[in-house]
Structures are given as C-alpha cells and as structure tokens.
Amino acid sequence: MVAAVIAFVLLGSPQANLRVTVWPNGRTGARVVATVHCPSASPACRKLATVPGNPFAPTPPGMMCTDIYGGPEEAIVTGTFRGTKVWAHFTRRDGCAIARWNRIAFLFAK
C-alpha cells in the first residue's frame, strides 16, 4: 500500500477515463459495469499508476501460453488511458490471459 501511494505521488495519477464491464460468470450471465476516472486518489487510480507499461495491451502474437483454464470470467475495458484510446477484452482462457487479467484484477473487483 505504501508503494502504491509513493508511486501515485511520484508518478502522478494516470489520466484515465474508463468503463469496465465484467461478466463474472461468462457472457451468458449478469454483468457488472463500473467507471474509473483519474486523476483522483481512488485505490484504482493509485494502483494503475504502479502498473508498468500498458496494462491494457494484448498478449503479443506468437506468445507460448500454458493450456490452463482460469474460469468463465470476461471483461471489456473501454475509454482512454494516458491519452490513448482503450478497447481491451480480458478472459481467463489460458495462462497468458490469466496473467493479463491478474495484472489489473483490481479493476474487476465485484
């Protein structure tokens, strides 16, 4: 927690205006929609400031991923982040997708 606060102070809050839609039980189930607006001192903004690189980047093509199923959850994040348009789809269908999901799971909290 202290590291997140320090990063927030040193790096500043990331500029973000995001809509986060999560289907906890897959696309056939109910969805949860939330928004994240930064700059602010919200926990989500503080955590976004500490994620290295582009937290919404897709898995690079040709990446070797373990064949592990992490569950039916899906999420779509749209909006802008640090001045760049975002449209990112997240699943838990393999090891790479699970790692990508876990990197920003704080945005998907129920």
Give the position of tokens 């056939």: 28
- The boundaries of the domain holding residue 32 are 16-52+64-108
* Pairing label, strands 74-81, 16-23: antiparallel
**In-domain check, residue 94:** yes
Using only the alpha carbons of the chain, give its radius of gyration: 14
**In-domain check, residue 98:** yes
**In-domain check, residue 3:** no
Quick: pLDDT tens for 12-38: 567 999 999 999 999 999 999 999 999
Give residue 12's Cα distance to chain centre.
18
**In-domain check, residue 83:** yes
Amino acid (1-letter code) at residue 46: R
**In-domain check, residue 1:** no
**In-domain check, residue 7:** no
> Residue 2 pLDDT more than 70?
no
Number of domain units in the chain: 1
> 65-78 burial, b for 16+ CB within 10 Å, e for fewer?
eeeeeeeebbbbbe
pLDDT reported for residue 37: 93
Residues 21, 4, 46, CA angle at the centre, nearest 5°? 40
The pTM assigned to this predicted structure is: 0.84
Q: How far apart are the first and last CA of the chain?
A: 20
Amino acid (1-letter code) at residue 110: K
Quick: pLDDT tens for 38-88: 987 888 999 998 998 899 999 999 999 999 999 999 999 999 999 999 999
